[in-house]
A and B are shown apart, each in its own frame.
Chain A
């Protein structure tokens, strides 16, 4: 029997098959509660995965668009090298704009380390030029060679060394969120397998009567599978809706805000958590089916 046929049979149901298994009491409540709790966690994990993805993209994009030229030269050559660098940058394809930072701006950058009264004139502070790149950016290697020729004290820093660890960290967070989702699915499968096994054990007499009157294993399994699948679907739907409501109530994502304010769904992303109940139902379907068929093989 193909997967689609099995799923269709489970979804359409068989009232006669459903009736043969008596209501299974606490296992029903436990299955629904477990599915709801797992769906709740899954929604937050999904939100975390999407937020870290956005964060990685944002950090990557923002840092990729800017670069800095640092000029370390004797005091008498500083102005000449700054002018030469600006001329080089102006004529380099892929550079949108370049401007030297003012003394006040440089002082502000260094203030956290040296205090606000930094005597810039008496210290060999390098001159910084802020560069904004166009999409695609310049030919960095070519630019470095030209800078070396025109202004030997200039170093072009495209922030790769800052950007990469941040992007790596965000990617790892996203990977962890993915692993968490997989663990949630496995834990759901484990809990539903235990609940289904308990229900099967509690209904050993029913199963033995059904076998006696000629029921195939798939018929008996179907009654349990449909019941547990529907419970998981219902429980997960409740958990998902509650979690989506909680995510909705989180502070809105501001661009200048920290990471947590970006924990949520944006636009079409809101569709993704709605898939979680169906994923839970799918996991429940296979977990119960495997548990049922394994148990039934032990009954003559």
Chain B
């Protein structure tokens, strides 16, 4: 699904990431961990093509990202659902409209997809908040709405950047359960988090692998997790 081959990223003359090699096979579940500032977000941005590697190669769905034009990047992103820590909603749109946003931008008729949207809202437990504005939701509700938006196009890959950073433990477990369900449906999952307890909790239920960013390099985490 996503492959990094000797990929590096330099910003302002300093190396952020160097010589990264990573392959996310279809249906895999990976955690990406590491201390704050280790480059987790940068690595995820390379994976969903918001950044281009300064060295090496990133391939998404077998296509070299550096060779893609802007329209190809847009079309490829429709196959990747992204959940950010700050959710990135359009504050003037309702929760339902925000979740349906990927349908609209891909030219699908949102009205025709209303039943799917209602099902999705129910799946993330937000069926009573469809008409609310994002700022009226709690942290956990916002994260679940962001997850709903990320999966509405039935993407092949879901990337989440610290999705549980602003929510309590109970809500975090609930959100992780949804991601585990998605993985069981065959979706490839990559989650950046520094919450080791959360990783342990999920590892107990799935065959998730844990990658650690250390000194700008990527390592497979050992039995300490």
Contact = CB atoms under 8 A, between A and B. Distances in A.
Interface of A: 16-17, 19-20, 22-23, 205-206, 208-217, 219, 296-297, 300
The 8 residue pairs across chains A and B that have the minimum distance between CB atoms: A214-B78, A215-B105, A16-B104, A214-B77, A22-B92, A213-B102, A216-B74, A209-B88
Interface size range of chain B in the complex: 20 to 34
Contact of B74 (A206, A208, A214): A214
B90 A212 contact: no
A296 B153 CA distance: 24
B212 interface: no
A20 B51 contact: no
B205 interface: no
Contacts of B76: 214
A212 B50 contact: yes
Contact of A217 (B71, B90, B97): B71
A213 B149 contact: yes
A62 B176 CA distance: 91
Given A213-B149, A214-B105, A19 B75 contact: no
B110 interface: yes
A216 B50 contact: no
B70 A209 contact: no
Contacts of A22: 90-92
A216 to B, nearest CB: 5
25 contacts: A20-B93, A20-B101, A22-B92, A205-B88, A206-B90, A208-B88, A209-B88, A209-B101, A210-B101, A211-B74, A211-B77, A212-B48, A213-B101, A213-B102, A214-B76, A215-B105, A216-B75, A217-B70, A217-B74, A219-B105, A296-B70, A297-B70, A300-B49, A300-B50, A300-B51
Contacts of A216: 70-71, 74-75, 105
A213 B92 contact: no
Nearest to A14: B104
Contacts of B78: 213-214
B89 interface: yes
Interface of B: 48-51, 70-71, 74-78, 82, 88-93, 97, 101-102, 104-106, 110, 149, 153
Nearest to B70: A217
Contacts of A211: 74, 77
Nearest to B150: A213
Given A213-B149, A214-B153, A297-B70, A20 B90 contact: yes
Contacts of A205: 88
A17 B50 contact: no
A214 B152 CA distance: 12
A83 to B, nearest CB: 89
Contacts of B153: 214
Given A214-B153, A217-B70, A297-B70, 5 more contacts: A206-B90, A209-B88, A213-B77, A213-B105, A216-B70
Contacts of A213: 77-78, 101-102, 105, 149
Contacts of A20: 90, 93, 101, 104-105
B161 to A, nearest CB: 11
Contacts of A206: 90
Contacts of B104: 16-17, 20
A22 B94 CA distance: 12
B110 A19 contact: no
A148 to B, nearest CB: 80
Contacts of B77: 211-214
Contacts of A17: 104
A297 B71 CA distance: 11
